[in-house]
Amino acid sequence: MTKRVKVAVLGATGAVGQRFIELLENHPVFQVSELVASERSASKTYGEAANWILASPMPKAARDREVRLATDDLDADVCFSAIPSGIAGKVETDLAARGYKVFSNAKDHRMDADVPLIIPEVNPEHAALVERQRTDGFIVTNGNCVGIPLTMALKPLHDKWGVERVNVVSFQAVSGAGYPGVPSLDILGNVIPYIGNEEEKVETEPLKMLGKLGSRGVVPAPIAISATCVRVPVEEGHSLAAHVQLKKKAKSEDVAALMAAWRGRPQELKLPSAPRSPLVVRFEANRPQPRRDILEGNGMAVSVGRVRADPLASVKFFLTSANTIRGAAGCSILNAELFHAEGRL
């Protein structure tokens, strides 16, 4: 067996950090060698420091490991960052300067000109941006938990017919707010029609991911996106209703067939975390549903249904995906698997 790459999980005690630890247990390429959190948790064992909230048991190897600080000399080559946005930026910059390869789930560097914002099936060629970072290490980001599944659904359509504009409404699970997240008296039996800074990310990040790599960075795709982001009383799984205006005419059945047939670089390389089908198209009238469909492809596939003609646009559809897996930790791990397979680590 090839020697595995040592990795550190940053923000390890949080919800996304826990998902990283769960997904990396027994990973064929990466081995967790360091768990990093705040000063409040440092020097404790992970079992003492973390309030484990996932349904799966805490891995024993993690439970007994001492929690470190990001400023420590870490026994790792790669860092998976689940540090909260606003704090992550400086920490990740410092780590990259010290030679670590940082794969971040935070928003702080996503729109930097020399930092790739990657979904491996969508824009693997953007990985070349790290060569423009003047540091011993580098930073790679994945998108937000709504922009990722939306961009995946749009990619095959944009390549074949061109996407002109998108109107999207998201129905976002409470797990997307982290832990403890949204107070129960605010969300139970309720819908909250505002999530801070979410709509701005959904309206801009897909344009970079669908854009073309140029001499000064990425030229954004010329698509207009209008988003409304809503928090709903669902534990895990973000859902989206998308209305898409295409540049060329297309029948809804052709759209569905194209989505179902779509594959990308991870499927070609058979990366460990890559689902066989990135987009799973369902034809039942009442699917997809978060409770039933978010674990397609071990949580790495996006389930799409109700693909039909739209009287105000070209086509409309409904989708759902696992927001803490494909929408967060899983996408970051898949990014690192891509870099490993292409010799960039």
Question: Which residues, 6 or more positions from 122, have their beta carbon under 8 angstroms from its beta carbon?
Answer: 151, 152, 155, 209, 210, 264
Phi, psi of 43 (to 5 degrees): 75, -5
* Nearest residue to 288 (alpha-carbon basis) of 267, 303, 309, 276: 303
With a CB cutoff of 8 Å and minimum separation 6, the contacts of 333 are 20, 23, 24, 27, 30, 80, 103, 273
238 is catalytic: yes
CA distance 93 to 87: 11
**Residue 126 near residue 100 (C-beta atoms within 8 A):** no
Q: How far is CA 55 from each of CA 15, 76, 92, 236, 300, rounded to the nearest angstrom?
A: 12, 28, 29, 12, 18
Distance between CA atoms of residues 139 and 132, nearest Å: 11
Active site residue 145: yes
| Among 79, 109, 145, 158, the one annotated catalytic | 145
By annotation, the residues acting in catalysis are: 145, 238
